[in-house]
Amino acid sequence: MTRNKRFLLTLLPVCLLVASFVPAKVHAVGTATFTRTPLTGIGPDVNVSRRDPSDVIRVGDLYYVWYSRGPVKTGYNATVWYATSPDGVNWTEKGEAVGKGGVGAWDEASVFTPNILVAEGKYWLFYTAISKNMKVKPDSKIGIAVSDSPDGPWQKLASNPILKNSGNPADFDSHLVDDSCLIVRDGKYWFYYKGRQLGKGAAETKMGLAIAESPGGPYIRYSERLAFPGNHEVVVWPQGTGVAAMADGLGAKETANSILFAADGIHFTKTHDVIDRPKAGGTYRPEAFTDSNLGEAPTWGVEMDPAGKLLCIQRFDIEWTE
């Protein structure tokens, strides 16, 4: 059954806006209409949950997306699967990309929340994982698997996990690190992620940044540690010479449900109010890995959506108007 939702982004009069947000020229007030579309192949399923889709890439004539797939609604008993599509609507599930680790491994219990980086002629699949011997729950870390093809096979890096929760209880990411969103900027690999401090709840999750000289790392946390506060999901794209991000409804009131922009990719300022945002969204970002300074606001993406007692993946399209 087709189900459509709409929401508006109200543009604030902020000088940092990039012209591609509005097709013609920037006005003080504008709108963007989001329309949801059910997907075949990775849509509603009574047997499995599909959630936390990656950003979408295109290789040849096919779009690719990776996601968490498992028997329960949460991502804490899952592995990473992938699907391909010629049109972004009709998808074919291709199989498992990254599985759980062996007995006693840091990724033994679950492998979930993937995202993709294309660099140096290879595909780098970032994923979150948890062990069966967590000191706190969840106690997640992030690893990478690499392949010469988007279809695999994937080889986990020996250096995994490449990003761990901080050993300093005072740090914003001392409880967990999760989610990955990658861009290439200034010849380096910028890795945005979310973190949570020991003793804090989901509403106090924050977004951080780590940067590497090589796609496989090592990834060094940005010295200020925070890209911006209050974000349970990480949705980032290159916007002209800067970086834009979508903040969810958790966290600080001043950034909740908004679009933010950072000319330097670090110090974000709110530019849009968002109503009825995508849930755990991933976007199609053709310039994400080109380091071209030509990135534009995304026109479509995928998100997770309830499918009875489980979750599925659906598409959203964005029509930018004046």
* Average pLDDT, consecutive stretches of 10 residues, N- to C-terminus, the chain (322 residues): 36 31 31 83 95 98 98 93 98 98 95 98 97 81 98 98 93 92 98 92 88 97 69 90 88 77 90 81 97 95 93 88 54
Q: Residue 228, Cα to own-chain centre: how many angstroms?
A: 15
The tokens of 224 are what? 């200020």
Please tell me the predicted confidence (pLDDT) of residue 15. 29
pLDDT digits (tens, 9 = 90+) for 256-297: 778 888 999 998 888 877 777 888 999 999 999 999 999 999
Please tell me the predicted confidence (pLDDT) of residue 253. 77
Please tell me the predicted confidence (pLDDT) of residue 224. 64
- 9-321 folds as Tachylectin-2; Chain A (2.115.10)
Domain ranges of the chain: 9-321
pTM above 0.85?
Answer: yes
The tokens of 136 are what? 């706190």
Please tell me the predicted confidence (pLDDT) of residue 292. 97
Q: How far apart are the first and last CA of the chain?
A: 31
DSSP states along 252-310: -TTTTTEEEEETTSSS-EEEEEESSPPSS-EEB-TTTTT--S-B---SEEEEEEEETTE
